Each structure stands twice: as C-alpha cells, then as structure tokens.
C-alpha cells in the first residue's frame, strides 16, 4: 500500500506544474470532469488560493473555464466563490479562487447517511425497503400501503425535526444565492451536491459556474444532443435542450432537497437515456414512502419543485426555500 501511495504521489507531482500564472503550486486538491484544482501560494499577496485549470486543456474545457471566469467577475455575493484573478499561462487558462475550508454537501450527505440504506435513488430504495429499514435520525420507513405519521397527523419526531431544521438552513442559503444569480439573468445549470460547499460554521457557497448561461436561451440547432449539466439533477427542459430560466435551477434544488431528506436521489438509471426518460416522464416516489416524520408541507414542496413543467414549480429558488423554512418551524 505504501509503495502504491508513493507511486501515485510521484506521478501526480510529475503532472503538476511548479508555477502557474505567478502562483507557486503546492498540491492538487480536487479533480472533476472539466477541471483540476490546486492549492497554491500567491507570493505577491502572501495568501493561499485555489488555482483552477482545465483538466486536459481541450477546447470545451478551456471555454468552460473562461466562461466561469467571466461570470464570476460579474458576481459579488458572500455565497459565491470569490475570484481573485485569472489569465493564461503558456496557453493554459487559469483562475485563482478563494480557498475554502470545509466540505461539499455531497460529502456531508454521505457522512450523515453513513450506515443507512443510501440507495442510488428513491425508486431503488423503495424496492429494497419492504422490511421497513431504520434510517438514522428518522426512524423506520412506513410499511407499504400505510400513511406516514406526518400524513396521519402525528407529531414530528425530535430527531427528524432537528435534521429538517438543518436542511432548511442549507436550502435557505442556497436559495438566496441562486436568487442573486437569477436576478442577473443567469442560470447555473449544474446545481448539485458536489457544487454546494459547506464552510466551517455552516455557511453555504456555490461553486462551478462553467455551465452558466443567459436565461431563456435554448440549445442552438445542430448542437450536441448531450445534456448540459449533470443528468441526475437536470430539469426536463434542460435535458431536451429547450430554453431554461431560474426554474430549471429550482428543479435541481428540488433534487438536492429530496436527497437531503431521504438519502436517495429521486431518479437514477443504468444509462443516460434511462435517466433522462425518468426525469421527463416518471414521477419521483413520494419522500414519505422512504422516511417517516416528514411534514406533508415539505413533501408537497419537494414534489412541486420536481414538477415536469416549469410553470408548476415555485417561481424562484428563494420562494421555495422560504416555504421550506416555514414548514419546518417548530409549533
């Protein structure tokens, strides 16, 4: 094991540029489908930064990074990652970003649901939960055909109430951030747990603006039919390439809320086509079939955010978040 780790470290160091854009590169801290993130030292301002570059410097990756930099220059919000500088170094575009301390919402959910039946989707969990499994903080799922305590007028269990209040704090912040973005005529198009960062202390920051577009812009004729965004969280209109507006991000936020509450995504599939068909035509399993103690107002809000037609969803991310906060208030 130690040899493998040493080999991986050496290989990584060989790929890592010692300097980039006047920044001393120290270590690679993350890598995604379109980019790499390094911890680097800003020797001029004596501060640590997150240095982002394309992963393979393809035309698409470079365009995404340049678009992200252009977007971040226009935005000023405490919940949006701060851009310090950007440029090109030896043909490679780069951005120097605020270095965040904490972890992504994806990592937080994995930790919260550790040991639980964290199925890929609500559908697969429901198929596997006929024996009424116990979910941490919630209790056992109701038996098939029976109403949840919340639907029957029962009291919300204290453990569930505590988790819901924490969920509401996260979603309320995310809704405020998205309202700021939408108020400038922009749509994120990739709102997902991996792009929501929880700083130490609970402050939410939205990441990865490489797919941002102007609202109500449809995919050009003849463009690739591939979905722009992450299929597990993409709105139906986004999948088919229709014009998108703030309500596409509301749908994605609804997918996140569903996952926060149940520990499972509303839809999943063995192929992109299968997943797309479910987003387009299938209703998500009711969250109350997966967890107990869920207020009916919260379930109705989640399913409303996942409506297939944008007009049937809440009009804004902030409005949806405020409805959630009201629904989980004690008393």
Closest CA to 204 of 234, 161, 232, 168: 168
Query: How many angstroms separate the CA atoms of 261 and 116, rounded?
Result: 13
Helices 246-262 and 105-112, interaxial angle, to 10°?
Answer: 20
Per annotation, catalytic residue among 42, 86, 179, 190: 190
Query: How many angstroms separate the CA atoms of 167 and 156, rounded?
Result: 15
Contact (CB, 8 A) for 35 and 21: no
Total residue count of the chain as it appears in this document: 331
Pull the structure tokens for residue 121: 């989707």
- 42 among known catalytic residues: no
CA distances in angstroms from 168 to 120, 154, 257, 275, 298, listed in the order given: 23, 21, 9, 27, 10
Contact (CB, 8 A) for 39 and 27: yes
- Any idea which residues carry the catalytic annotation? 190
């Amino acid at each position: 094991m130690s040899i493998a780790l040493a080999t991986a470290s050496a290989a990584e160091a060989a790929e890592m540029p010692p300097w980039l854009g006047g920044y001393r590169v120290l270590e690679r801290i993350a890598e995604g489908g379109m980019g790499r993130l390094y911890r680097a030292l800003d020797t001029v301002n004596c501060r640590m930064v997150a240095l982002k570059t394309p992963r393979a410097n393809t035309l698409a990756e470079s365009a995404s990074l340049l678009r992200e930099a252009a977007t971040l220059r226009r935005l000023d919000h405490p919940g949006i990652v701060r851009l310090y500088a950007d440029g090109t170094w030896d043909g490679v575009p780069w951005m120097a970003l605020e270095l965040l301390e904490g972890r992504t919402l994806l990592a937080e959910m994995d930790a919260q649901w550790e040991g639980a039946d964290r199925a890929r989707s609500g559908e697969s969990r429901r198929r596997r939960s006929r024996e009424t499994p116990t979910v941490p903080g919630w209790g056992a799922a109701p038996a098939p055909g029976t109403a949840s305590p919340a639907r029957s007028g029962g009291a919300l269990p204290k453990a569930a109430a505590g988790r819901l209040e924490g969920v509401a704090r996260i979603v309320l912040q995310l809704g405020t951030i998205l309202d700021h973005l939408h108020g400038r005529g922009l749509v994120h198009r990739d709102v997902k747990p991996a792009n929501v960062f929880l700083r130490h202390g609970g402050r939410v920051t939205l990441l990865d603006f490489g797919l941002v577009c102007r609202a109500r812009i449809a995919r050009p004729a003849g463009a690739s039919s591939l979905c722009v965004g992450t299929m597990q969280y993409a709105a139906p209109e986004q999948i088919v390439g229709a014009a998108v507006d703030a309500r596409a991000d509301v749908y994605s936020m609804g997918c996140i809320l569903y996952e926060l509450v149940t520990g499972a995504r509303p839809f999943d599939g063995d192929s992109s086509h299968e997943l797309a068909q479910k987003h387009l035509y299938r209703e998500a399993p009711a969250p109350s079939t997966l967890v107990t103690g869920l207020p009916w107002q919260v379930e109705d809000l989640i399913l409303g955010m996942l409506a297939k037609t944008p007009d049937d969803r809440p009009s804004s991310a902030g409005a949806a978040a405020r409805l959630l906060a009201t629904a989980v208030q004690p008393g």
